[in-house]
């Protein structure tokens, strides 16, 4: 059996065991998740995704944002872990990295779609305000 997750996303993508299609359809809440699925894998994805956000999302790099977006697309069945990790990163990262995290959020919502659109929707105002408050007074890059 392959160990999950791999050491880092750069050397390979996190690919949890396949779950049957439709198993997690609809709005995903921790309480509504099918009880027999492996919550340990979801926690590992959360921890690894968050750690890689801290280490790798340190500049506005299209390649880095695309890589994180691909990982989100490949792990839709664990979308809650990706959303929670990105939200935590936005709240805790240094000011200069918040805009990159907003770009990643935008990329996931636009390019992957559901279930991420529904999961991020309630947090968009908070995420935007967190980024807005963090950027320098010269906000020309946001307007």
Instruction: Answer yes or no: is 110 within a domain.
Output: yes
Residue 8's pLDDT is what? 47
What are 25-53's pLDDT values in tens digits? Answer: 334 344 444 444 577 888 888 888 889 89
One DSSP character per residue, 121-137 reads GGGHHHHHHHHHHHS-S
DSSP state of 1: -
Contact 79, 115 (CB under 8 A): yes
Instruction: Answer yes or no: is 129 within a domain.
Output: yes
What are 83-93's pLDDT values in tens digits? Answer: 999 999 988 88
Mean pLDDT, the chain, whole residue set: 74
Domain count of the fold of the chain: 1
Instruction: Answer yes or no: is 54 within a domain.
Output: yes
Instruction: Answer yes or no: is 61 within a domain.
Output: yes
Question: Percent of the chain having pLDDT more than 70?
Answer: 68
Q: Considering only residues 139 and 128, tell me which one the structure prediction assigns the higher pLDDT.
A: 128
Instruction: Answer yes or no: is 34 within a domain.
Output: no
Report residue 127's pLDDT band, with 50, 70 and 90 as the boundaries.
confident
Contact 76, 115 (CB under 8 A): yes
Please say if the pLDDT value at position 5 is more than 80.
no
Instruction: Answer yes or no: is 45 within a domain.
Output: yes
Owner of token pair 């906000």: 139
Residue 14's pLDDT is what? 44
Q: Considering only residues 82 and 23, tell me which one the structure prediction assigns the higher pLDDT.
A: 82
What are 104-122's pLDDT values in tens digits? Answer: 988 999 999 899 889 888 8
Instruction: Answer yes or no: is 118 within a domain.
Output: yes
Q: Considering only residues 76 and 137, tell me which one the structure prediction assigns the higher pLDDT.
A: 76
DSSP state of 16: P
What CATH number is associated with residue 106? 1.25.40.90
Owner of token pair 């309630």: 122
Instruction: Answer yes or no: is 24 within a domain.
Output: no
d(CA 55, CA 131): 19
Instruction: Give Cβ neighbours of residue 129 (< 8 Å, ≥ 6 apart).
Output: none
State the residue range of the domain holding 105. Answer: 39-134
Count CB-CB contacts under 10 A for residue 23.
Answer: 11
Positive or negative torsion for Cα 32, 124, 66, 48: negative
d(CA 45, CA 141): 32
Tell me what the mean pLDDT of segment 51-79 comes to.
Answer: 90
Count CB-CB contacts under 10 A for residue 17.
Answer: 11
Residue 22's pLDDT is what? 38
Contact 112, 119 (CB under 8 A): no
């Amino acid at each position: 059996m392959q160990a999950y997750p791999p050491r880092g996303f750069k050397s390979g993508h996190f690919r949890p065991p396949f779950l049957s299609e439709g198993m997690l359809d609809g709005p995903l809440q921790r309480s509504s998740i099918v009880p027999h699925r492996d919550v340990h894998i979801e926690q590992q994805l959360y921890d690894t995704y968050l750690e890689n956000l801290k280490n790798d999302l340190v500049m506005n790099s299209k390649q880095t944002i695309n890589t994180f977006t691909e990982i989100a697309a490949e792990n839709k069945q664990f979308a809650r872990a990706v959303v929670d990790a990105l939200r935590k990163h936005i709240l805790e990262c240094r000011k200069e990295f918040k805009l990159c995290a907003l770009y990643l959020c935008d990329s996931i919502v636009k390019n992957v779609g559901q279930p991420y659109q529904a999961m991020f929707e309630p947090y968009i105002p908070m995420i935007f305000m967190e980024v807005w408050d963090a950027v320098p007074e010269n906000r020309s890059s946001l307007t």
